[in-house]
Amino acid sequence: MLKAEGLHVSISGVEILRGVTLTVARGTIVCLLGRNGAGKTTTIKTIMGFYKPVKGRVTIDNMELTSKSVHERVKYGVSYAPEDLRIFPWLTVEENIKLAAKLAGRNVDEAIEIALGVFPEIRGFLKRQGFYLSGGEKRMVAIARALAQNPKYMLLDELLEGLAPIVVERLSKALREIASKGVGILIAESNVMLAKRIVDEAYIIERGEIIYSGSIDKALETENIARILGVKIKP
C-alpha cells in the first residue's frame, strides 16, 4: 500500500496542501481529481519526493519514505511521469526507456521487452528521436519509461489531457493492463469524464484539501462536488 498521510506543504511561504491523506493499493487505479491549482501536482510531487512536507508522511508497504530522495523512492518502487513528460528530445525512444531503467538499477534489455509488452506499437518508432514524436506517442513513451523502472506504484500527472478519444482509450487500456500486473497507479486529472473510464477510486482535492473519497459516480450526485468538477447535474 502506498500512503500519504496528513501532508502539509508550503511553497515560498504559501500553504499549498492542508492535511492531504490518500492511499493506493497495488493492482488498483486511483485518481486525484481537481481543478487547476487545487493541489494535484503538488501532491504527486510530494509523494515522489520533490517537495518535503512540513507535516505528514509518505510510506510504501509500511516503509517510511518521507526523508528519502527522489532517486531512493524510485529504488523502493515508485515511478513518475510528469505533466510535461520530460521526454529527452535528442535521444531515441529506445534510449529514453533504457536510461530510465538504468537509473533505477534495472536490466535495460528486460525493460525494453516489458515496455513493448504493453505498447507493441512502440517497436515501430524505437529508433525515432523524442523530438519527432506525436503527443500520443510521447504519452506512450512516458508510461513505458515509468514502467521500465519495474515499479510497485506509478504516479502519472495529467497524461490523458488534450488527447484524441482513440488515444485516450488506448492509454486507458494500457493502464488497466499495467494495474492487472499488480502495479498501483495514481493519476492526477482535472477532467472527470476521462477519469471515469478507468479509475477504481477517486479522491477530490480542492484548495489543498481532500474533500471526498470514493466512486466518481457517487461524487457527482453531490451538487457542490459536481460544480467543482465542472459537471452540470441534470434537473
Q: Is residue 218 part of a domain?
A: yes
Q: Is residue 221 part of a domain?
A: yes
Q: Is residue 105 part of a domain?
A: no
Q: Is residue 106 part of a domain?
A: no
Q: Is residue 93 part of a domain?
A: no
pLDDT of residue 63 exceeding 60, the answer is yes
Please tell me the total count of domains within the chain: 1
Asked if 157 and 83 touch (Cβ cutoff 8 Å), the reply is yes
Phi, psi of 231 (to 5 degrees): -115, 130
pLDDT of residue 234 exceeding 90, the answer is no
Find the domain containing 27 and state its range.
1-66+179-235
Q: 176-192 burial string, b = 16+ CB within 10 Å, else e?
A: eebbeeebbbbbbbbeb
Q: Is residue 3 part of a domain?
A: yes
Q: Supply the CATH number for residue 20's domain.
A: 3.40.50.300
pLDDT in tens, 164-192: 889 889 999 999 999 999 999 999 998 88
Q: Is residue 207 part of a domain?
A: yes
Question: Using 50, 70 and 90 to split pLDDT, how confident is the model at 195?
Answer: confident
**What is each CA distance from 111 to 10, 35, 100, 231, in whole angstroms?**
37, 35, 9, 40
Better-scored residue on pLDDT, 129 or 168: 129
pLDDT in tens, 71-122: 999 999 999 999 888 999 999 999 999 999 998 888 999 989 999 999 999 9
3-class secondary structure, 28: coil
Q: Is residue 222 part of a domain?
A: yes
